[in-house]
Homo-oligomer: A and B are copies of this chain.
Amino acid sequence: MRPSGRDLSEMRPISIETGVTRHAEGSCMIRVGDTHVLCTASIEDRVPPFIRNTGLGWVTAEYGMLPRATHTRGRREAKNGQSGRTQEIQRLIGRSLRAAIDRNALGERQIVIDCDVIQADGGTRCASIAGGWVALKLAVQKLMASGAITTDPLTDHVAAVSCGVYAGQMVLDLDYPEDSEAGVDGNFVMTGSGRLIEVQMSAEGATFTRDQMSGLLDLAEAGCAALVEAQKAAVA
């Protein structure tokens, strides 16, 4: 009954290709079905003003869509002129990745994760988190290989998946046709050990119950576990 023919609890195929651009300290192309996101990690010596001279590090993210990643052509966005939706997404990506970072071990430097959607089919922010973690991990490995840091600041995996109520059924990993119809949907960000980092359930012109919330959490746990497996294979 899903447009794609998937089972209610079935993820789309996941692939993560690393080392896709030459200049970034870490990079990957993550594909979750037809959603393709290029994630890069850039290590910078300067940190935001509010942590200067504290010895602590920072991880932040920017999110963008190529103009023709979508059915109809969108407009480019620049920092300080991004839509509310874009800002929400990139704040979420940064916050999610920071939950698994030991900022002391990272030292006073910043890693910027850029997530650029090459092709969109729903779930771009979740793919960005899962792919962003891989780019971050690769950059951290580079820092450790060079001796710049000695303790791995990444304390766990971070993955994310969307779930929602589509045509009255709880479904995992919504694609665009599902996402545009679902009255209730949300994003779940979890660690490799199954703890929650972020839950964003949202209804547009609808409401939901605590029982539904619980069922969606069950789906999310399975989806995130699959993504973590793919991450492990990618950075091995």
Contact = CB atoms under 8 A, between A and B. Distances in A.
A170 interface: no
A232 interface: no
A66 B208 CA distance: 35
Contacts of A207: 99, 191, 195-197
Contacts of A81: 78, 81
A204 B40 contact: no
Interface string A192-236: 000111111111111111100100010000000000000000000
A170 to B, nearest CB: 14
Contacts of A38: 66, 118
Contact of A21 (B68, B99, B103, B203): B68
A147 interface: no
Count identical subunits in the complex.
6
Candidate in A21, A77, A82, A114 with the most chain B CB atoms within 10 angstroms: A21
Contacts of A101: 205
Given A73-B112, A114-B66, A199-B199, A95 B23 contact: no
B217 A196 contact: no
A27 interface: yes
Interface string A163-192: 000000000000000000000001000010
A76 interface: yes
Contacts of A199: 186, 199-202, 213
Interface string A38-68: 1010101000000000000000001010111
30 contacts: A21-B118, A23-B69, A23-B71, A24-B68, A40-B67, A42-B73, A44-B73, A62-B67, A62-B76, A64-B66, A66-B114, A67-B116, A73-B112, A76-B79, A78-B78, A95-B202, A98-B205, A99-B203, A99-B207, A103-B205, A195-B207, A195-B209, A196-B209, A196-B213, A197-B207, A199-B199, A199-B201, A199-B202, A199-B213, A210-B217
